[in-house]
Amino acid sequence: MLSEIQHSHPLVYKHFSNIEHGEFWLKRIMELDRYWSQVGSRPAPEVIFDGAKLPKDIEISGEFDAIYAGATLGLLHAAALTDLFGKSVLVIDKYTPAKTHRDWNISLRELQRLDAMGFLKQSETEKAITKTYKTGFVEFAARKNRKRLFINHVLDCAIESDVILQLALHKVLARTENAVLAQTAFQRCWKVDGGVVVEVRREGSPQFFKAKVLVDTMGIMSPIAMQLNSENGVVRPQTHICPTVGTLASGLEEIDYDIGEILVSTEPADTSHGSGRQLIWEGFPASDTLFTSYLFFYDRIDSDNDKSLLNLFETYFEKLPTYKKPSAKFHIEKPVFGIIPAYHHDGFGKTRVTADDGIVLFGDAASLSSPLTFCGFGSMVRNLERTASKLADALSQNATTKTDLDAISAYEPNVAIMSNLMKFMCYDARTDEPNFVNELMNEIMKVLDELPPRFRETLFRDEMSLADFTTLILTVGAKFPKIFPITYQKLGVSGSISWLQNWAGWVARSLSTTQ
């Protein structure tokens, strides 16, 4: 497979040829890139059926309270459901459970939530921490008066994701009524009395299992999410997207291993691949010698930009020396990559479909994590206790209709409203000058620098309060009046109304929780 890209992607070919399991990683990247051919104006996959269409001669291989399709973040949720609430679970994964192609960063205070909820002890999660940082910063390539904004207590520790997932795996397997199946792919399901029948393919043969609830944690490629979020022949399970590629590597120069680089741009927008994209770097020390660097951009799902991960990897290797120069000892431990989803809720609350009768979506399949910070792991940790306990209650009460399960989600109005800010990060050459994103973000960093530290910290931890968000927006308007015509340009009338609806929905929810 590598030989097929030797001429079209020479830098990817060169580096992946020297990576352990390079062929495997290339295959995974190309599989993810098939996402782009599955969204837009094309028939939605049909994988959810009425029970009347269930084949008559099938044999049920096992029954569980919940079946989890997807064993990365889904495994974490399944472990909480069985360990804390005693529910039986089956976890399946197309590949190897408790393995992921993305590394995680999180703040120490967020990670401690797992201990506070009685799930994973701090002494256990500390084993997964490979590096902690003194501080982090955000910096955009403004032409003058560039502001480097330092932020404490945000994404300040690197996590070896597979260690956390192994802890979750042990929790699941500690109960004899549970099961975890590798190399097992979801095929389709039927909504029947008392739950859902799920067909999987394992070792080339179909198997059938039954559960009260099917939990979809299959990520951005979820056919369930695509079917539930399609209308009039258009498959649009997300509204915005963040293609992301990078490496875990040693031998990069000018690294301060005590500082995380949360968002960094080095140049104006790239207009060579469509209507334009502002490329942004992110870098975190993974140990005292290893550094994880990412290259990504924010974009609309329906833009004409090239969003291919394979092509973005070629750009990553081409531009890496402008961010961190590889030395003669540069060595890649593994590639990291993903298509990170976002969704703009056009209304007062959650508008994305994340449930059906007997089916509920979590993680990237649900696409409810922050559209600004894209911290899927942080979203799962933040909402784990609430969603797991509510799902356990629903299972105990047999309350598994679409309405029941739709109320169990990671939706947070303070996070959802950030999709409006994310739109300012989506560069468009038809309306924006080349350094538009950099100059605008630099002005916002200046405002944050003048406000108390909690504003920047809670913004980048997805924990900002309604009062602080309102103060931030009003302060930006007062300090940088150009934001008003820019807002109209980026959002238009309908987009501005939608932002106000998001805001009003947040106000209403805040009032309801204080009563």
Indicate the residue type of 73: L
CATH code of residue 187? 3.50.50.60
Q: Which helix (H) or strand (E) is 445 found in, with range?
A: helix 436-450
State how many domains the chain has.
1
Residue 392 lies in a domain: yes
Long-range contacts of 17-24 (CB under 8 A, 24+ apart): 18/332, 19/332, 19/334, 19/335, 20/334
Question: If you average pLDDT over residues 380-404, what whole number do you get?
Answer: 97
Q: Assess whether pLDDT exceeds 80 at residue 153.
A: yes
- Cα–Cα distance for residue pair 378/363, rounded to 1 Å: 10
Encode pLDDT of 9-47 as tens digits: 999 999 999 999 999 999 999 999 999 988 887 788 999
Residue 7: its pLDDT value, please?
A: 96
Q: Which of 311, 308, 331 is nearest to 319 (CA)?
A: 311
- Cα–Cα distance for residue pair 452/144, rounded to 1 Å: 24
Residue 38: its pLDDT value, please?
A: 86
Residue 40: its pLDDT value, please?
A: 80
Residue 9: which residues within 8 A CB-CB, separation 6 or more? 310, 311, 313, 314
Q: Which of 81, 278, 92 is nearest to 189 (CA)?
A: 92
Encode pLDDT of 292-328 as tens digits: 999 999 999 999 999 999 999 999 999 999 999 999 9
Residue 243 lies in a domain: no
391 and 186 Cβ atoms separated by less than 8 Å: no
Encode pLDDT of 325-358 as tens digits: 999 999 999 999 999 999 999 999 999 999 999 9
Residue 515 lies in a domain: no
Residue 183 lies in a domain: yes
Question: If you average pLDDT over residues 213-228, what whole number do you get?
Answer: 95
Residue 128: which residues within 8 A CB-CB, separation 6 or more? 159, 160, 161, 163, 164, 167
Residue 229 lies in a domain: yes
Residue 496 lies in a domain: no
Residue 488 lies in a domain: no
Q: Please give the torsion angle defined by the CA atoms of residues 384, 453, 465 and 500, in that order, rounded to the nearest 10 degrees.
A: -120
| CA diameter of the chain | 71
Q: Assess whether pLDDT exceeds 70 at residue 374.
A: no
DSSP conformational letter for 376: H
Residues forming a β-bridge with 131: 158
Residue 251 lies in a domain: no
Give residue 235's pLDDT band: very low, low, confident or very high (50, 70, 90). Answer: confident
Lowest-confidence segment of 371-380, 433-442, 450-459, 479-488 by average pLDDT? 371-380
pTM over 0.75: yes
Residue 119: which residues within 8 A CB-CB, separation 6 or more? 79, 80, 83, 84, 384, 385
Residues forming a β-bridge with 195: 192
Phi, psi of 453 (to 5 degrees): -55, -30
Q: Which of 367, 371, 384, 378 is nearest to 154 (CA)?
A: 378
Encode pLDDT of 61-101 as tens digits: 999 999 999 999 999 999 999 999 999 999 999 999 998 87
CA atoms within 13 A on the CB side of 296: 26
161-173 helix and 73-85 helix, angle to the nearest 10 degrees: 40
326 and 252 Cβ atoms separated by less than 8 Å: yes
First to last CA, the chain: 60
DSSP structure string for 92-149: E-SS-TT--SS-EEE-HHHHTHHHHTTSS-HHHHGGGEEEE-SEEEEE---SSS--EE
Domain carrying residue 76: 48-128+160-234+352-411
Token representation of residue 308: 């291919």
